[in-house]
Structure 1
Amino acid sequence: MGIFYSPLSPLWAILLGAPAALALLHAIRSASKVQLEQPTVFSAWCASIILLALIWRMRVPVMPDLHLHLSGVALFSLMFGRHLALTGISIAIALYTFEYEGSWANLGANILLLAIIPCWFSDLLLKKTQQYLPHHMFVYLFGNGFFGALLVNASVGISTMLLRSLLFPDAKLPADAIAYMLLLAWGEAFLVGFLVTIFAVYRPAWLLTFDDNVYLRGK
């Protein structure tokens, strides 16, 4: 749920693009290359980037530049951690912009909305659940895989609508847009929780945020 087709003014493009570029550069430099070298992880990361761009294309238009669709960013963040996820989602944003003729002036804003905010929020939720809740596998699956995904996806939708209202005040949002967005986020949370459970059992290498030493050892 980015802002791909309504070009931003040069001033807003710079104001939003500069911090997004700095955050992306930091993520690239901080990303663990060792984790990507593990068997099948790099392939899963590349496939997730392509799938993310395809998922965003399966959308329901609400306004000319406001579409409801699955986000995918909460699952991406849980699978690869903050830095690798931020990098991968940013690549997916660039791929989507190129493939579907989006506005390149909006690249920074979309990286902020679809990569920086959800990856930071997902990482914060993960750390807080580890700090305040029991170190149990079901806490990870339900706390982060379901409820965390719901909060992350909702934050993406709400922040996108708020920023869009600020950038384009003349384009009034439909009264029920937020309600439908939250309903879709709720449904996606069930899907993310299901996939996280499957990956934790059959493909734990794809869940870089799931630590056996934290959630399984000694249980």
Structure 2
Amino acid sequence: MFLEAALALLALALALVARPWRMLASQKPLVHEEHGAPAALWTPLLATLAILPWAWALPTLHRMPLQLQWSGACLVLLMLGWPLAVPTLLLVGVIATLVSPGLSWPEALGLAVWSGVVPATLAMLLGVLVRRLMGERSFGGARVFIYVLGRGFLGTAVCMFAAGTLAQWTGHVLPGVGEGLSLVARWLMAWGDAFVTGMLSAVFVAFKPQWLATWSDRIYLPRP
């Protein structure tokens, strides 16, 4: 628990240094969003706080032999950006504890760190690498597919599996899964997150790009 608390406090401190509330200060929640307006992050933020806690609490609300955990952290990262995603994911862990009597505070902290902060941080670092590689080469119209497939789909699978592997190395085992099959289970769960994140990121790029703080027309849709 000490490691998870230290990681959570460090990530939260770094995120608050970036003053993420500035991304929301100039916007009002639940207002009509016009096409071409600045990124309206209130909608994905409130949707995350309303939906994701139930997804995190579901394995403890219904006892099953195989408890599969959906994260959603990479999708939250793509929508809100890292400085705003970190406090949001930590708050999701708090809400998940309040809605589920079977989820203790230490378990919620571990969930918020290994299923929230760590994969979101890895996804942020992957995004920095992707943007640097695109800056060095010309991909033309393929840049939008790099965002959707690279960051939304394949990147999510890699980040979720890496975070799950780190969690297992620190002693966080999957309930009902043998130690020899834990990595296989985490690999399969990572692809579940990848499919959802890739699908929704493609939909948002096409219809609601203002819901993606990590999306930029200038970067991913360069003019010829």
Q: Is TM > 0.5 for Structure 1 vs Structure 2? A: yes
Partner residue of 1:147? 154
Per-residue CA shift, 1:172-218, capped at 9, x if unaligned?
84432321221222133122111101001111111100111111131
Per-residue CA shift, 1:91-139, capped at 9, x if unaligned?
0001111221322234543333133311210111001111114561111
The residue type equivalent to 1:112 in the other structure is V
CA distance in 2, matches of 1:26, 1:143: 26
Following superposition, the deviation at residue 70 of structure 1 comes to: 1.8
Unaligned runs of 5+ in 1: 1-12
In structure 2, which of residues 194, 202, 205 is the aligned counterpart of residue 197 of structure 1?
A: 202
Change (3 A) 1:27 1:62: farther
Partner residue of 1:157? 164
The residue type equivalent to 2:167 in the other structure is T
Asked if 1:116 corresponds to 2:121, the answer is: no
Report the number of matched residues. Answer: 200
The residue type equivalent to 1:203 in the other structure is K
Identity over the aligned pairs, expressed in percent?
A: 25
Unaligned runs of 5+ in 2: 28-32, 34-39
Following superposition, the deviation at residue 61 of structure 1 comes to: 4.2
Instruction: Look up the SS of the partner of 1:154 in the other structure.
Output: helix
Superposition TM-score, scaled by structure 2 size: 0.78
Partner residue of 1:3? none
Partner residue of 1:178? 183
The residue type equivalent to 2:45 in the other structure is W
- State which drifts further: 197-206 or 175-184: 175-184
CA distance in 2, matches of 1:105, 1:139: 37
CA distance in 1, matches of 2:177, 2:150: 35
Partner residue of 1:14? 2
Partner residue of 2:90? 90
CA distance in 1, matches of 2:19, 2:178: 37
CA distance in 1, matches of 2:18, 2:52: 22
Instruction: Look up the SS of the partner of 2:149 in the other structure.
Output: helix
Partner residue of 2:132? 131
Instruction: Look up the SS of the partner of 1:197 in the other structure.
Output: helix
Instruction: Look up the SS of the partner of 1:164 in the other structure.
Output: coil
CA distance in 1, matches of 2:64, 2:158: 23
CA distance in 1, matches of 2:75, 2:200: 8
Two-structure CA RMSD over aligned residues (Å): 2.5
Superposition TM-score, scaled by structure 1 size: 0.80
Change (3 A) 1:68 1:107: closer
Q: Could you tell me whether the CA contact under 8 Å between 1:18 and 1:108 is conserved in 2?
A: no
Partner residue of 2:23? 35
